[in-house]
Amino acid sequence: MTAPVKTHCPYCALQCGMEIGPELAIRPRTDIPANASGALCQKGWTAGELLTNGERLTTPLLHGEPVEWDVALDYVADRLSAIRAEHGPDAVAVFGGGGLTNEKAYHLGKFARVALRTSQIDYNGRFCMSSAAAASGKAFGMDRGMPFPITDLAGADVVLLAGGNVAETMPPFVRHLTGPRMIVIDPRRTQTAKLAWLHLQPTPGTDLALALGLLHLAIADDLVDEAYVAARTTGYDEVRTSLASWWPERVERITGVPVYRMRQAVRALAAAGNAYILTGRGAEQHAKGTDTVSAFINLALALGLPGRHGSGYGCVTGQGNGQGGREHGQKADQLPGYRKIDDPAAREHVAGVWGVRPEDLPGPGRSAYELLDALGTPGGPRALLLFGSNPVISAPAAEHVAERIGALDLLVTCDFVMSETAALADVVFPVTQWAEESGTMTNLEGRVLLRRQAVTPPEGVRSDLEVLAGLAKRLGHTFATEPAEVFDELRRASAGGPADYSGITYERIEAETGVFWPCPEIGHPGTPRPFLDSFATPDGRARFVPVQHRPPAEEADEDYPVYLSTGRVLAHYQSGAQTRRIAALVQAAPEPYVELHPDLAEQLDIAAGDVVRVSSRRGEAKAVARISDAIRRDTVFMPFHWEGANRLTNPALDPTSKMPEFKVCAVRVERDS
């Protein structure tokens, strides 16, 4: 290898630009706006080790034994056919991931619906930003995480971030926030909250009440942008009436956030010439996550922010291709181009591209947790094909999920390291990873980016696209394996849909360092700010959605008296399957821990460094105690990159988005004797 190859980081939704040079040296690019200042975090700098760390899978495994590719593919295809023949097409399920390229996500959906004809496909993005996606769809008629370029943030006077810790989850993001005053809502004083001008520290599970309280104050203090509300929205009156029940003193009692702090926040937002309201997983990963985001969007609409140059609402998407991954059909209820699978016109268009009859496309299937929960049950799937996900670590009530996976007749995974879930599989296909293959990723701004292959994959591994094509061929279908070819088909399939990629090409992405969707024609410049003139609703107006607060699915009580919240640390990514194999990252964050307040520690007789047992109604985990007054007295925090935290979390689902309640459940904390 000689010249450095331009690509992007393998991790989060910021998709920092990087070059991979000789000896796999990583250098930040300066032409990608997300990290144009040349920033990378430790995960990015050390990403090269993913390619060389020696734990790489390079041969297919059948019941743990190395086998030839044809043997493994034949075996899987035969078993799939047999299970389908005996139990019907829905007995085979597919589970994808928000880290997969657009091309893979697209082919995964097509493979499920065309080759397997199963409705049972969903993905771990359901655990990511599905609540924000649902709420954005309701309000704006379209979900594009941040409907503005990330660089716009720097020009704002105030940015409110509800439930996001970007200083740890995507550090270079912070460089876009050095100008604005930051208001951070988080039960913990996180690295991000420490940068804030104002930190509101609510009880876990009460962000919705807080958002209602903020909007109540905006109305009571006459801070609503009435002209904007009249010109660009519908539904305000009903929302206004519904807010009479959420006066700030009531909200204070529920959230623990002092009224005067709420008032400071609202006044700062209203006084700002330009302001943004952003939500992250902290606000979204709840059984009421969709309503919580709706409440924050209502606040943004009342203040006249969305669809204005320099202001707006955005969701800070988490996974590498969290945005693109939700657009092209690996979601239970979707077809490519962010189309709905129950929309007859959408079915007809996509069936046409796929060369099948619309009536042969299955309907909507189970959502992610519902799918995992049904595995191996009567009427549930008996076989699971898993791509780019590690649910044994990342799903809620993880022990239960592992049990369900154990009840399958067939588990097939595609992985490049032996993840905890791959270790349970009947068949493991060793696949290529980021720098060994090409493909597009759509980052948190909705900017479609190109990851170019930079290195030659190890001998013996194949791409996910090749695995799908190999299986499809054995099931009687022809699937392309070249990413560029798959992307061309994706463009046609997405044409006319909300997420229209038809005008985007690899060449354009390279020349323009990314293209914003929707981009319906080759000559179209892309759409950095889609809502400036009108929203994507039938009447072009944004919709206020009346919502009411309700308590978490599980409240602290005598048996489980403490709230647990979960989240990320800087050195690790998602289930840690990649980052827990990189020496520098392990050194930075070697083990799971539980963070608790000194007062709670005193009450429980726990000292820093003690091994602590944390239990919930669903399971138990051990971790090392860290004492910190950055957390509320009534709450403990555990990172979810290791086995343990998600044994405790609550699979109560949001009725709309089917998001599990990762961010709050009730636990008991004890010193491990």
Partner 1 sequence: MRLVVVGNGMAGSRLISEVRARDPHIKITVFGAETCQPYNRVLLSNVLAGSSRPDQVHLLDSSWYDAHHVNVVLGSPVAHIDRETRHVVTEDGRREPYDLLVLATGSEAVVPPIPGVERAIPFRTLDDCERIMRAAERARRAVVVGGGLLGIEAARGLAGRGLPVTLLHLAGHLMERQLDVEAGEVLGETLAGLGVEIRTGVSADSVQEDGVRLSDGELVEADLVVLACGVRPVTGPAAEAGLEVRRGVVVDDELRTDDPSIFAIGECAEHDGNVYGLVAPAWEQAGVAADVITGGKALYRGSRLVTRLKARSVELAAMGETQLTEEHAEVVRFSHRARGTYRKLVIRDGRLVGAILLGESDAVGTLTQLFDRGGQVPGDRAGLLFPGLSSAPVADSPVLMPDAAKVCQCNNVTKGQIRACWEAGARDVAGVAAATRATTGCGTCRDAVEGIVGWLCEQEGISV
List contacts with partner 1 (CB under 8 A).
28, 37-42, 45, 167-168, 171-175, 178, 191, 195, 203, 219-222, 237-238, 240-241, 244-245, 247, 249-250, 252-253, 255-261, 556, 570-571, 584, 587-588, 598-600, 602-603, 629, 632-634
Nearest CA among 12, 13, 10, 48 for reference residue 27:
48
Distance CA 378, CA 393 (A): 25
Give the shortest CB-46-to-partner 1 separation in angstroms: 9
Give the shortest CB-253-to-partner 1 separation in angstroms: 5
Query: Given the complex with partner 1, which of 261 and 613 has the nearer CB atom?
Result: 261
Give the shortest CB-78-to-partner 1 separation in angstroms: 48
Give the shortest CB-568-to-partner 1 separation in angstroms: 13
17-20 and 26-28 beta bridge pairing: antiparallel
Say if CB 542 and CB 306 are below 8 A apart: yes
Provide the token pair at 272: 């700002």
Query: Given the complex with partner 1, which of 219 and 475 has the nearer CB atom?
Result: 219
Distance CA 627, CA 82 (A): 54
Give the shortest CB-503-to-partner 1 separation in angstroms: 34
Query: Given the complex with partner 1, which of 495 and 588 has the nearer CB atom?
Result: 588
Query: Given the complex with partner 1, which of 115 and 299 has the nearer CB atom?
Result: 299
Query: Given the complex with partner 1, which of 114 and 167 has the nearer CB atom?
Result: 167
Query: Given the complex with partner 1, which of 255 and 565 has the nearer CB atom?
Result: 255
At position 108, the amino acid (one-letter code) is: L
Distance CA 197, CA 574 (A): 29
595 phi and psi, to 5 degrees? Answer: -95, 130
Nearest CA among 357, 401, 396, 418 for reference residue 581:
418
Say if CB 197 and CB 251 are below 8 A apart: no
Say if CB 300 and CB 272 are below 8 A apart: no
Give the shortest CB-118-to-partner 1 separation in angstroms: 36
Query: Given the complex with partner 1, which of 547 and 600 has the nearer CB atom?
Result: 600
638 phi and psi, to 5 degrees? Answer: -135, 135
Order of strands across the sheet that contains 383-387:
65-66, 61-62, 427-430, 410-415, 383-387, 92-96, 121-123
Query: Given the complex with partner 1, which of 171 and 457 has the nearer CB atom?
Result: 171
Place of tokens 């190999």: 470
Give the shortest CB-255-to-partner 1 separation in angstroms: 7
**Furthest-apart CA pair in the chain: how many Å?**
70
CA 456, 460, 464, 465 torsion-angle sign: positive
Query: Given the complex with partner 1, which of 253 and 357 has the nearer CB atom?
Result: 253
Residues contacting residue 476 through CB under 8 Å, at least 6 positions apart: 115
Distance CA 215, CA 362 (A): 42
Q: Is 516 helix (H, G, I), strand (E, B) or coil?
A: strand
Query: Given the complex with partner 1, which of 257 and 652 has the nearer CB atom?
Result: 257
223 phi and psi, to 5 degrees? Answer: -105, 5
Give the shortest CB-229-to-partner 1 separation in angstroms: 14
Give the shortest CB-102-to-partner 1 separation in angstroms: 27
At position 53, the amino acid (one-letter code) is: N
Query: Given the complex with partner 1, which of 173 and 296 has the nearer CB atom?
Result: 173
Question: How many residues does the structure list for the chain?
Answer: 673
Say if CB 639 and CB 593 are below 8 A apart: yes
Give the shortest CB-247-to-partner 1 separation in angstroms: 6
Give the shortest CB-228-to-partner 1 separation in angstroms: 18
Distance CA 59, CA 416 (A): 10
